[in-house]
Amino acid sequence: MRVTQEQMRENRRRILAAASRLYRDKGYDAVGVAEVMKAAGLTHGGFYGHFASKEDLMAQAIAQAATEVAGRGGDLPAFVATYLSPAHRDDAADGCPMAALAADVRHRPAAARAAMTTGIRAQIDRLTEAVPDAADRRREAIGTYAALIGALILARAVDDPALSDEILDETRAWMASDA
Amino acid sequence: MRVTQEQMRENRRRILAAASRLYRDKGYDAVGVAEVMKAAGLTHGGFYGHFASKEDLMAQAIAQAATEVAGRGGDLPAFVATYLSPAHRDDAADGCPMAALAADVRHRPAAARAAMTTGIRAQIDRLTEAVPDAADRRREAIGTYAALIGALILARAVDDPALSDEILDETRAWMASDA
DNA sequence: TCTCAAATATGATCGCGATCATATGAGTGT
DNA sequence: ACACTCATATGATCGCGATCATATTTGAGA
């Protein structure tokens, strides 16, 4: 059953969006091609009409996710508060793709790492602009970004809710105190 | 071919050590039971005499790795410098198990998460003792730990060596400047 | 309208890896 | 020494998932 060219582009978008969400939620290895296609409302067969391989899909999914999230970050304190919120911790599927996938991309082929690098660089640049300070803005941005991602990953790894909350709250307070 | 009880305990240790290294280096999913056993100098068959499942192995490997690394952290500035060094970034197999596996453990069963939680808690406690400041020592420790892990993960994810070095260096400088 | 090619669906294939079954042979207690 | 148990080795099994082959239907261009 052939579909409109626009429908096909829409399908491709759906696949990417579904993959991006599923990868962030469950991890790259835990998500199969069939599951992604099903989540996109299609069957597994047509996958290779859109992507060369599963790894190709991941690279493009990262690239897209990095672009999507790119909009955030205007007001720095608000961004930090949102980033380190329990809501963000508990909803990885719609959350920061770097926090969810940066550690994993180390084991993926070059294309995925390149997409991740682009996203990280863009986020650092965006944070740099959001930092009020004039001197050492970029340094502040990089340190802040590292602390954000580290805290979110730790808060998600821990199985004790109290400790998890503490990591989020204390990291936020720590960043606010100095600077 | 039966072996000495001590030999068996030694084999078990070898398996755990090999698994810990391999998981940190290549990721949990990328490492099979056979590969672990081979790295330990054994064949795949005897695996289930030592562990109930691959997941059981991971949980115990994390627990052991967390204990091993527990010794580090006496002098805080030195620890930070070592942690954020290119050498640590480039040798994940012998590096911090949290930086390598914390993001992954989110997708693993309860036992693995529990072991990770214990390790994280221990590390936070250790850092708390290493912080000179009297007030807000724990806060400082948590924020520092988050920044360390986040920076290492970012530095490992990026495929541009210059950016990777910059992340390590600037995060270190950032942490030194305030505090 | 009439082809024709393209997009998707259905249904193999194929290898890999976790787990299990059986064999082997050497520690262990008597 | 002897029987016996246990740790390991060898060799299935079994399911899952990436990838590919074929069929089907319908947009798109003439």
- Domain with residue A120: its CATH number is 1.10.357.10
Please check the confidence at residue B179 and state whether its pLDDT lies above 70.
no
- Out of A29, A143, A174, the one facing B174 most closely (by C-beta) is A143
Distance B53 CA to D4 C1' (A): 28
Q: Say if B59 falls within a structural domain.
A: no
Residue nearest to nucleotide C6 (CA to C1'): A2
Q: Is A56 exposed, middle or buried (0-12, 13-18, 19+ CB in 10 A)?
A: middle
Q: Say if B57 falls within a structural domain.
A: no
Distance A2 CA to D23 C1' (A): 13
For residue B26, the domain's CATH number is 1.10.10.60
pLDDT, one tens digit per residue, over A97-126 is 999 999 999 999 999 999 999 999 999 999
pLDDT at position A98: 98
Q: How many domains does chain B have?
A: 2
Q: Say if B58 falls within a structural domain.
A: no
pTM, full prediction:
0.96
Please check the confidence at residue B136 and state whether its pLDDT lies above 60.
yes
B47 touches strand C (CB under 7 A): yes
Judged by CB atoms closer than 8 Å, whether chains meet at A113 and B159 is answered as yes
Place of tokens 């961004």: A79
Strand C footprint nucleotides (protein C-beta < 7 Å): 5-11, 16-22, 24-28
B42 touches strand D (CB under 7 A): yes
B49 touches strand D (CB under 7 A): yes
Residues 6+ apart with CB under 8 A from B82: B72, B88
Judged by CB atoms closer than 8 Å, whether chains meet at A146 and B171 is answered as yes
Which domain range does residue B151 map to? 64-177
Cα B22 from Cα B2, distance rounded (Å): 27
Q: Say if A109 falls within a structural domain.
A: yes
pLDDT, one tens digit per residue, over A37-93 is 999 999 999 999 999 999 999 999 999 998 877 655 578 999 999 999 999 999 999
* Mean pLDDT, rounded, of chain A: 95
pLDDT at position A171: 98
Question: Of A127-136, B13-22, B96-105, which range is least confident?
Answer: A127-136
Average pLDDT (A5-15) is 97
List the single residue in A with minimal CA-CA distance to B84: A146
pLDDT, one tens digit per residue, over B65-103 is 988 776 555 789 999 999 999 999 999 999 999 999 999
Average pLDDT (A141-164) is 98
Co-location of B48 and B71 in the same domain: no
